[in-house]
Structure 1
Amino acid sequence: MEPGGYRSRHIDMPFVGTEALAAGTVNRYQLRTRYDALYRNVYVPRGQKLTAVDKAVAAWLWSKRRATVVGLSAAALHGSLWIDARQPAELNQPSRTRPPGIFIHSDVLAEDETCVVQGINATTPARTAFDLGRRKGQTLAVVRVDALLQATQLKLPEVLALAERHPGVRGLRQLEQVLDLADYGGESPQETRLRLLFTNNGMRPTRTQIDVFDGRYHVGRIDMGWPEWKVGVQYDGIQHWQDPRRRTKDIDQNAEYRELGWRLVHVGADLMRARHDIIIARTRTELRAAGAPY
């Protein structure tokens, strides 16, 4: 274990140059020829594509392990997926001095708003959701909160309770809307955006990740829908079309759903990009055919 508690599987992780030299992990020639200084005295393998977690760790090491990892960087440490690694790392500390590639916040964080993740001080999932949910762009904020709900044991009332402790902070009104729109079953950004599309058209799905059974046999899981009407919607990512085995499984599964009385609407990336009206029309047709008042 490296100083500070962060577990590094190998030298491919960000590391402090002087510490690696002192430990004999690398020599000066190796440090100079095999690694690049991402920040002062913080090194990464030359040419390696960095993840959001890598950048969060590197930024924290740059702070001499004094800062608190916040925002998207905290979400990445907590296991949130779909975070763009091109975004700057985010730290919270009193000093605003920073190198390029790091964004500094200077918020006052209560003791119970921080925790330790792999030896690194970071905001708790609740505080992270509180911060991300207030940022400009409601849809993106819901996507990010959904991702945190997937990655952690976070419960939305925890974020609401935190909001009550911070009256008057910027973005609270949006945060309330984001928490109302967030869902524990949003397993991808596109699923979240699809759910919001229905919601904005007065057709909010009543369930997400609907398990369908034929007796004791588990047929499959539908991304979202209205189980009371047996109408479901599946978002089909590229793997559903490029993997022949997955495609065959989908066809067989759809036949089983139909035998059980389910009506399914499939949505792909092309529809999500520019044909929202078709998605709504097809889904509304199936709902009305099932007797739903939409």
Structure 2
Amino acid sequence: MQVPFLGSAAIASGELTPAALRRWYRPIFRNVYVPVRHQVDLWDRLKGLMLAAPDAVVTGVAASAVHGAKWVDADTPIEVISSARPQSGLIRRRETLHPDEITVLSGVRVATVPRTAFDLARHLPRDRAVARLDALMGARRFRMDEVHSLVERHPGSRGLRRLRIALPLVDGGAESPRETRLRLLFIDAGLPAPTTQVVVRDELNRYIRRIDMVWEEYKVGAEYDGAQHLSDRTTYANDVKVARVLRRLGWHVVHVIREDRPADIVTEARNTLLTRGWIPE
């Protein structure tokens, strides 16, 4: 028996009795079941949705995961454009969707990449929207004009003001939502927008480091240091050696950790940029 499955179909075919269904299986959507001990992931829920509401089209955060975006939790609410009845775990949106804005991936009806970007930018607060759009852009490149063409196609859609704010901030170079938030912190503080994922080489053109974000003109960079920098001795030792080379090459890298105060991060970056010739507008 495939998982997930329709409970009514399993009973009608004689594979299960109603008592066995209740005892050994649990619903994830109305009439859609998995074994009691089955660890449900996002794909289970998406496939279950296709059984529960075959006309539904997945969009938003879950759609970005279908297109390959990272950092989407298994239990994230699934946004759907559908006429089906509301139920737990779904965010139903009654919106216009044209046939060329729908594709099918691994059996899941899902909004195309540009339409997914269009919906993310409209329905999420700015920082979350940009982080999700960065992740989508990192997985599947899309053009801004493709998204803007949907604005013209759906001129009365909810959230267009949010979209116009979020789209110019998208940068597919972010390798985590924390990096996106750090980049937005600098931009909001009035610093120049940094360039993401820049490779630094030494005088002999040898690879030294790919820095999360940099102001290359001023040889200033910023990196978000995760837990592995402290828990992995090899990573830590390599970081120390790389930092020495970067200093010799004239680079100043702002190392950011979770415990840092945003104001302190901005102050270090701003002061370093100022000492290296940046003139605020």
Q: Give TM-score scaled by structure 2 length.
A: 0.88
Once residues 278 and 167 of structure 1 are traced to their aligned partners in structure 2, the CA distance between those partners, rounded to angstroms, is 42
Once residues 21 and 259 of structure 1 are traced to their aligned partners in structure 2, the CA distance between those partners, rounded to angstroms, is 72
1:211 paired residue number: 199
2:70 paired residue number: 81
1:43 paired residue number: 33
Change (3 A) 1:44 1:247: farther
**Aligned match of 2:214 in 214, 225, 245?**
225
Instruction: Map 1:257-276; keep pairs closer than 5 Å.
Output: 257-271=246-260, 275-276=261-262
Contact 1:74 1:123 (C-alpha < 8 Å) held by counterparts: yes
1:6 paired residue number: none
1:279 aligns with 2:269: no
1:164 aligns with 2:164: no
Instruction: Map 1:85-234; keep pairs closer than 5 Å.
Output: 85-95=74-84, 97-214=85-202, 215-234=204-223
Residue 31 of structure 1 and its aligned partner are, at CA, apart by 5.8
Change (3 A) 1:248 1:176: same
| Structure 2 segments unaligned to the other structure (5+ residues) | none
Residue 41 of structure 1 and its aligned partner are, at CA, apart by 3.4
Q: What residue identity is the alignment partner of 1:116?
A: V
Once residues 261 and 150 of structure 1 are traced to their aligned partners in structure 2, the CA distance between those partners, rounded to angstroms, is 30
Change (3 A) 1:21 1:147: farther
1:240 aligns with 2:249: no
Of all paired residues, the percent bearing the same amino acid is 40
1:4 paired residue number: none
Once residues 19 and 81 of structure 1 are traced to their aligned partners in structure 2, the CA distance between those partners, rounded to angstroms, is 34
> What is the number of equivalent residue pairs in this alignment?
278
Contact 1:53 1:73 (C-alpha < 8 Å) held by counterparts: no
Once residues 232 and 8 of structure 2 are traced to their aligned partners in structure 1, the CA distance between those partners, rounded to angstroms, is 47
Once residues 217 and 18 of structure 1 are traced to their aligned partners in structure 2, the CA distance between those partners, rounded to angstroms, is 63
Change (3 A) 1:183 1:46: same
Contact 2:183 2:194 (C-alpha < 8 Å) held by counterparts: no
Residue 20 of structure 1 and its aligned partner are, at CA, apart by 7.0
2:44 paired residue number: 54
State the Cα deviation string for residues 63-111 of structure 1 (Å, max 9, x = none). 1x3221122221221122222444322222223x133222222222112
Question: Which has the higher mean CA deviation after the structures are superposed, 123-132 or 86-95?
Answer: 86-95
Once residues 213 and 59 of structure 2 are traced to their aligned partners in structure 1, the CA distance between those partners, rounded to angstroms, is 31
Contact 1:93 1:105 (C-alpha < 8 Å) held by counterparts: yes
Residue 157 of structure 1 and its aligned partner are, at CA, apart by 2.5
State the Cα deviation string for residues 126-177 of structure 1 (Å, max 9, x = none). 1011111012411111111111111212222321222222223221121011
Contact 1:56 1:74 (C-alpha < 8 Å) held by counterparts: no
Question: Which has the higher mean CA deviation after the structures are superposed, 172-181 or 35-44?
Answer: 35-44
Once residues 261 and 22 of structure 1 are traced to their aligned partners in structure 2, the CA distance between those partners, rounded to angstroms, is 73
Please tell me the root mean square deviation across aligned C-alpha atoms, in Å.
Answer: 2.5
State the Cα deviation string for residues 185-240 of structure 1 (Å, max 9, x = none). 12211111110010001113331011112234221210011011111000112222
Contact 2:214 2:221 (C-alpha < 8 Å) held by counterparts: yes
Once residues 51 and 244 of structure 2 are traced to their aligned partners in structure 1, the CA distance between those partners, rounded to angstroms, is 54
Once residues 14 and 80 of structure 1 are traced to their aligned partners in structure 2, the CA distance between those partners, rounded to angstroms, is 23
2:278 paired residue number: 292
Once residues 25 and 235 of structure 2 are traced to their aligned partners in structure 1, the CA distance between those partners, rounded to angstroms, is 41
Question: Which has the higher mean CA deviation after the structures are superposed, 190-199 or 72-81?
Answer: 72-81
Once residues 186 and 36 of structure 1 are traced to their aligned partners in structure 2, the CA distance between those partners, rounded to angstroms, is 38
Residue 33 of structure 1 and its aligned partner are, at CA, apart by 5.2
Change (3 A) 1:48 1:238: farther
Once residues 48 and 284 of structure 1 are traced to their aligned partners in structure 2, the CA distance between those partners, rounded to angstroms, is 51
Change (3 A) 1:252 1:17: farther
